[in-house]
């Protein structure tokens, strides 16, 4: 009797995370495990990242790519690296040669309490001029649609970022200024006039972010400190261990919980923004308010690099930026990559189906066919990371799904 098991790796459907699919066909003598090919691996599982300038921890996080900039290089009809002087959705900005902001690769991942972003550029990230008369600026930006709603937040073109897309409510970003790392901050784009901006400042002093229609021009930005006195505004409970300080571009340097590290050659950056700095919604009492960013939510993310002109090839007097295509439907899974597998041996007429301990809580499902699947949950599988399955006369396909 030969028993043949085939391991199928399928792209998971959108929305909630579902693992790769495994199968075995019963009824034969040697048990063979066959990998039929890897399709797209999703980034939404938890990864551990250390902000230390060593990028080995990003190796298994999927890459997104952006063109290498240059004369005549277009991205969705937009010069890949371009000026920041335009603000209408259908404008075509002008090419600017600035390799330091030429985004070429980016990644995004998370763990149970932090968002992580990876950037790779043709030139040196974060380089700014400093001398008696010149004080350069460089921005590393991830802007987030936190509610998957394009009617809240703003459109990228308003800030001179192209290709444009809509719905961005908050940023995690880093500013380099005058030759140094100046600040890592959060930013709220939920105001379209001064009155609404004043209300947003008041909200944020109280640890609240309302996700509202916004504009590029009206935004509070703040640095979050994990001490009551590190900033100027201690937050109310349950965040009263922390404080914030509103900051301005080119302002004094304040370094809180948003951090960045570069590779020795400056071509790569890794950045962290803890969930807590995005604050909570307006539910009262505030102790019942929900975090704006938490596991189980779905985000849209846009990556940009932007800098002033001093260190670009001269002559050039224009600021330049480069924006990647957004990462849509980024689901913040609470689990690590399940790595579902069937042990390549049979014992007592059964096989062992197992998955990583960090995926305990996911439900194992089985179907006898992928042609007309009938996925049935295997009872009790959400409290373990392995199941012994008796080999029967038919096929069995397995996958893990989030509850």
Residues that bind Ca ion (CB under 5 A): 50, 52, 54, 57, 66-67, 69, 80, 102-103, 145, 147, 149, 152-153, 167, 169, 322
Q: How far is the CB of 374 from Ca ion (least distance, A)?
A: 37
Closer CB to Ca ion, 146 or 401, in the complex: 146
Q: What is the C-alpha separation between 75 and 294, in angstroms, rounded?
A: 32
Q: Which residues pair with 291 in a beta bridge?
A: 280
Q: How far is the CB of 123 from Ca ion (least distance, A)?
A: 11
Contacts of 312 (CB under 8 A, 6+ apart): 96, 97, 98, 99, 100, 320
Taking the complex as a whole, how short is the minimal distance between the CB of residue 359 and Ca ion, in angstroms?
Answer: 23
Kindly state the smallest distance separating residue 69's Cβ from Ca ion, in Å: 5
In angstroms, give the least distance from the CB of 271 to Ca ion.
Answer: 10
Residue 82 phi, psi dihedral angles, 5° rounding:
-150, 170
Q: How many CB atoms lie within 10 A of CB 50?
A: 12
Nearer to Ca ion, 103 or 208 (CB): 103
b/e 275-289 (16+ beta carbons within 10 angstroms → b): bbbbbbeeeeebeeb
Q: Where are the beta strands (DSSP E) in 165-207?
A: 170-177, 180-188
DSSP state of 172: E
Closest CA to 216 of 168, 278, 280, 164: 168
Closest distance to Ca ion from the beta carbon of 50 (Å): 4
Beta carbon of residue 66, minimum distance to Ca ion (angstroms, whole number): 4
Distance CA 96, CA 288 (A): 48
Cα-to-chain-centroid distance, residue 223? 19
Q: Among residues 168 and 176, whose Cβ is nearest to Ca ion?
A: 168
Q: Which is nearer to Ca ion, 81 or 354 (CB)?
A: 81
Give the shortest CB-54-to-Ca ion separation in angstroms: 5
- Residue closer to Ca ion, measured from CB, 10 or 110: 110
Minimum CB separation of residue 130 from Ca ion in Å reads 26
Q: Which is nearer to Ca ion, 230 or 274 (CB)?
A: 274
Question: Between residues 102 and 221, which has the closer beta carbon with respect to Ca ion?
Answer: 102
Handedness of CA 327, 323, 188, 114 (dihedral sign): positive
| Separation between Cα atoms, residue 341 and residue 230, nearest integer Å | 48
Q: Between 119 and 397, name the residue whose CB sits nearer to Ca ion.
A: 119
Residue 80 or 239 having the CB closest to Ca ion: 80
Pair 71, 99: CB distance under 8 Å: no
* In the complex, minimum distance from the CB of residue 168 to Ca ion, in angstroms, rounded to a whole number: 7
Q: Which of 153, 334 has the CB closer to Ca ion?
A: 153
Residue given tokens 């670009």 in the structure block: 312
Phi, psi (deg, nearest 5) at residue 231: -105, -165
The tokens describing 36, both together, are 């039929």
Structure tokens at 126: 């974060």
Task: Extract the runs of DSSP E, i.e. beta strands, from 236-370.
Answer: 243-246, 259-262, 268-274, 298-307, 320-323, 327-331, 341-342, 350-354, 363-367
**Tokens linked to 234:** 């201690």
């Amino acid at each position: 009797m030969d028993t043949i098991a085939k391991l199928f790796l399928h792209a998971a459907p959108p929305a909630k995370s579902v693992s790769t699919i495994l199968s075995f066909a019963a009824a034969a003598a040697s048990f063979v495990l066959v990998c039929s090919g890897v399709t797209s691996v999703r980034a939404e599982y938890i990864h551990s990242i250390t902000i230390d300038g060593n990028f080995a921890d990003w190796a298994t996080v999927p890459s997104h790519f952006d063109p290498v900039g240059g004369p005549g290089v277009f991205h969705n009809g937009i010069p890949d690296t371009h000026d920041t002087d335009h603000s209408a959705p259908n404008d075509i900005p002008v090419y600017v040669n600035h390799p330091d902001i030429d985004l070429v690769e980016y990644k995004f991942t998370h763990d149970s309490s932090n968002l992580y972003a990876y950037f790779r550029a043709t030139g040196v990230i974060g380089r700014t001029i400093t001398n008696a008369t010149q004080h350069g600026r460089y921005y590393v930006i991830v802007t987030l649609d936190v509610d998957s709603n394009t009617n809240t937040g703003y459109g990228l073109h308003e800030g001179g970022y192209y290709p444009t897309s809509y719905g961005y409510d908050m940023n995690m970003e880093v500013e380099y200024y005058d030759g140094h790392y100046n600040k890592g901050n959060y930013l709220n784009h939920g105001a379209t006039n001064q009155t609404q901006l004043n209300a947003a400042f008041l909200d944020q002093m109280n640890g609240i972010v309302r996700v509202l229609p916004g504009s590029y021009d009206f935004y509070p930005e703040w640095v979050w400190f994990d001490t009551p006195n590190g900033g100027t505004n201690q937050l109310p409970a349950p965040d009263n261990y922390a404080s914030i300080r509103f900051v301005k571009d080119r302002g004094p340097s304040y370094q809180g919980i948003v951090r960045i590290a570069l590779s020795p050659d400056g071509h790569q950056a890794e950045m962290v923004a803890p969930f807590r700095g995005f604050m909570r919604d307006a539910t009262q009492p505030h102790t019942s308010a929900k975090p704006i960013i938490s596991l189980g939510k779905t985000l849209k993310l846009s990556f940009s690099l932007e800098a002033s002109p001093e260190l670009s090839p001269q002559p050039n007097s224009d600021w330049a930026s480069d924006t990647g295509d957004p990462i849509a439907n980024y689901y913040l899974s609470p689990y690590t990559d399940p790595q579902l597998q069937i042990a390549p041996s049979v014992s007592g007429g059964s096989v062992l189906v197992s998955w990583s301990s960090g995926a305990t809580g996911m439900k194992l499902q089985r179907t006898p066919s992928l042609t007309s699947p009938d996925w049935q949950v295997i009872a009790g599988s959400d409290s373990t990371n392995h199941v012994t399955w008796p080999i029967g006369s038919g096929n069995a396909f397995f996958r893990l799904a989030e509850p």
